[in-house]
Structure 1
C-alpha cells in the first residue's frame, strides 16, 4: 500500500467526538462548530444571536405576525367557496393537539425557521387517514435524507429513531441548499454581522464597566518591572472602585501620568455602527428598519409605504409557502376541493378608518354584501343584508331620465316660428 492509499484510508476514519461523522465528511467543519466563529472572533450560536436586540425583534415580529393571521379551511363549490368548520379546520384554527394551541404551534414553527433555518411537524392520522394531531419536532434531532430518489425524515427520540415519509412531515425551511435536503440558517449564514453585533455589545459593556474610562497606560519613573505591574493593577482597581462609588477624581503619584490607548468610542461612531447593524439585520429578514424600532430615517409617508412593502414582498412570500406546504401535506397533491388559507386582511384590524372605507367601497360596488362586511368584523348578520348593492347614478348616455319642467303662470306662450 502506497502513501496516498494509506492517507486515503486514514481520511475515512470516524471522528472521536461522533463515530458516525467521518473525517472526510463535508459536514465535519459544521459538526465541530468551527464555522460559527465570526470574523470578529465571536462565536455565534442561536442563543447568542437572540441576545442581539435587533435579531430578537426581527424573529419575534415576523413569527408573531404570521402566527396571528387567521387560518381557515375552505371548500370549493359551484357557487364559489364556503368555509369548513370542524375536523381539520378546528385543528388548524384552535389547537393542533391536546397540548398546543394553533398560535403557539405556528409561532414555534416560524421561530425555528427564522433562527435555525427550518421547522418540522409530524402529522398524526387515524386509521381512516384523517388528521387528528400535529406535533412539532425538534429540528436538532431531525435529519433529512434521500433513498432511491425519495425524501424521508429520521427523528431521534431518546434511544428510538423514527422514520417518516415526506408526506407525514410539514417542512418549513428558510432556504434550501442545492441538494434540496440541507438548509441554510439565516443566523449562521450571516455570522459575521451577528458576531459584530455581539462584539459591539460586549465592548460597550466593558467600557461602562470601567466607568466610561477607555483603556489607558500609566507613565512614570518606575523602579522595577514589579513596581510597574503593581501600579497598573492598583490603578485598574482604583478606576473600578471610583466608578462603583460614583467618584469623579483619581489621585496619581507625583511624576505619573495617564495616557489613553485604543479607540475613542465617540470617534469610532459606536451609535452609528449599531444603527448600521440594525439595517443589516433588517436586510437578512427583508424587513423595513421601522419594524425593528429604527425610525432614524422614518417619516409619515415612507413609514406607511414600508408597511405596504412588508405585506406585499415579505409577508406574502411566507404566507404562500406555509399555505402550499399545508395544502400539499394535509390534502395531497391531487386534491382540488379543499384548501387552507391565511387571512392577511386581519392585518388591517388595527386601522379602523381604512377598514371602514374599504368595506363601504366594496359594498357600494357590489363586491360584498353588508352581512359579509359585518362578518369580517365578527358582527352578527342583519335582516335584508344579504343582497348585493350598487350605485345607480351612472347610466348609458341618452338613457338618463328627463325631469319635467314645472309650468309658470307668468310665462307667455311662445309664438310659432314663421
Structure 2
C-alpha cells in the first residue's frame, strides 16, 4: 500500500473525492446537477444492469471426480437463491447491490454470522449497508492488528460505530478503481456528459411548454415607452407561449410586426448531440447501443443476447462470484471444490427449435443423458433417463472394413455369425 501518513488512511466511498483526478479528466465537479438519475439514458443503463444481474439465479456448486454438481444440501444454497435476509428477496437484494455499485461506485454488505454454538461461523444473512455511513480504513501500519488489513467503520442511525474487518464484509466495487480497494462511481466519470444530456432534456421540455413556438422579434414602427413596451411584451408572450396556444392564430396589433427566429432542432444538431451523449453514457456502463434500442445492429436476438453476456455481464458476474466464493465459503469448502456461479441460461437460452436440435445432437453423441436435457427444460426426470446413449453402428476407425470380412472383430463376434 505504500507508506502510511498517519494512523489510518480513510477512503471516501461517497463518490470519488480526488479533485486532481477530476481535473485531469476535464471535469468541473462543482457545476453538475447531483440528480443524475433524472437523465433517461443513465437511468436506463442502471436499470438494465440491475435487472440483468437479478434475473440470473445464483447457485452453489461442488466439483467432484464425476464432474460438477449442485450443492443443494448446503445451507447457503437456498439462502442466496431465495432470500439473503428476512427483509429482501434475492431479486431485491441483487438489484440494490448492482444499483449501488454503479451509481455510488461501491456496494457494502455485512455478513451476519452465528457467533457461538454448534453453528458458529455459519452465515445467517447478508445486509446491505448505507454507503453514506461507511468509511474504509486501510491499516497499512498494522495498528489495529498485526497483519495489514482493510477495515470498514459503519455508523448506525444512533451514532454508534462498528469496526468490521474485511472478512465480515462483501465489498462489490465498480470496474474502475484507482487503488484496487474503492470503486469510482460512473456518475463522476460522466459528470459533463450527463449534465449535457440533462440540459438537452430541459431544452426539449421548455420547447414543448412554449407550444413549440420559436422566439422572435416584435417590431413597432412608432415610439413606445419602456412601461408600455413591457406591458405589450408580457401580453404578447401570454398569447403565444404554452401548449394551449400551439397551432393557434396569433393576432398582431396594428402597427406591430412579428418576425420569428426559427431555431429548428435539426439546425442546432440537437439530435446528433443527444445521441452522442447517450452513446458516451452507455459506453461507460459497457452496454452496446443496440441493447438500449438506439440502433438495430442485429436482427438475431440470440446473437444480441450472447454479445450482451460476453461484453457486458460476464465481467460483472465474475467479480460477484469471486467475492462470494472467497468470503462466504470456508477454506475447507473451497478446497473441496465448492464455488458460487450464476446460471446464465436465462440470457443465453436459444429458441425452442434450436434447443431441440442441440439437445438431439448432445444425446445422439453420448455426452448428455435424456434426464440432463429434461432438467434444463424444467421437466421431471425419467427412471430410464440417466444412461448415456450412442448410435450402435459407430465403430473405431481402426476397425473400418472388418465388417466385410470373416475375420473376428476386436471386442466382438464375427459379423456374419
Q: Structures share a fold, TM > 0.5?
A: yes
Deviations 1:209-246 (A, max 9, x none): 111012223222342222222222222111126x4155
DSSP 3-state at the match of 1:347 = helix
Match of 2:276 in 1: 276
Question: Which of 49, 62, 65 lines up with 2:49 in the alignment?
Answer: 62
CA shift for structure 1 position 50: 1.9
Q: CA RMSD in A?
A: 3.0
* Distance in structure 1 (CA, Å) of the matches to 2:29 and 2:136: 32
Over 3 Å counting, the alpha-carbon distance change for 1:135 and 1:400 in structure 2 is farther
Match of 1:318 in 2: 316
Deviations 1:327-372 (A, max 9, x none): 1111156722221111112223463233323322222222211101
Over 3 Å counting, the alpha-carbon distance change for 1:254 and 1:155 in structure 2 is same
Over 3 Å counting, the alpha-carbon distance change for 1:103 and 1:400 in structure 2 is farther
DSSP 3-state at the match of 1:91 = helix
Where in structure 2 are the equivalents of 1:154-173 lying within 5 Å? 154-158=153-157, 159-173=159-173
Match of 2:133 in 1: 141
Over 3 Å counting, the alpha-carbon distance change for 1:95 and 1:39 in structure 2 is same
* Distance in structure 2 (CA, Å) of the matches to 1:394 and 1:272: 63
Over 3 Å counting, the alpha-carbon distance change for 1:94 and 1:264 in structure 2 is same
| 8 Å Cα contact 1:348-1:355 kept in structure 2 | no
| 1:119 is the counterpart of 2:92 | no
Match of 2:397 in 1: 396
Match of 2:180 in 1: 180
Deviations 1:181-203 (A, max 9, x none): 33211122111111111111100
Larger radius of gyration: 1
DSSP 3-state at the match of 1:164 = strand
DSSP 3-state at the match of 1:368 = coil
* Distance in structure 1 (CA, Å) of the matches to 2:223 and 2:292: 52
| 8 Å Cα contact 2:32-2:192 kept in structure 1 | no
| 1:110 is the counterpart of 2:98 | yes
Is 253-262 or 137-146 further displaced after alignment? Answer: 253-262
Where in structure 2 are the equivalents of 1:267-306 lying within 5 Å? 267-295=267-295, 297-300=296-299, 305-306=303-304
DSSP 3-state at the match of 2:38 = coil
> Structure 2: where are the runs of 5+ without partners?
1-9, 143-147, 406-417
CA shift for structure 1 position 130: 0.5
| 8 Å Cα contact 2:306-2:348 kept in structure 1 | no
Match of 1:376 in 2: 376
* Distance in structure 1 (CA, Å) of the matches to 2:182 and 2:223: 61
* Distance in structure 1 (CA, Å) of the matches to 2:71 and 2:379: 19
Is 92-101 or 177-186 further displaced after alignment? Answer: 177-186
Match of 1:10 in 2: none
* Distance in structure 1 (CA, Å) of the matches to 2:137 and 2:232: 62
Is 112-121 or 314-323 further displaced after alignment? Answer: 112-121
Match of 2:62 in 1: 75
* Distance in structure 1 (CA, Å) of the matches to 2:354 and 2:30: 49
CA shift for structure 1 position 324: 0.1
* Distance in structure 1 (CA, Å) of the matches to 2:269 and 2:191: 22
* Distance in structure 1 (CA, Å) of the matches to 2:18 and 2:341: 41
* Distance in structure 1 (CA, Å) of the matches to 2:30 and 2:238: 27
Match of 2:145 in 1: none
Question: Which of 9, 33, 37 lines up with 1:44 in the alignment?
Answer: 33
DSSP 3-state at the match of 2:389 = coil
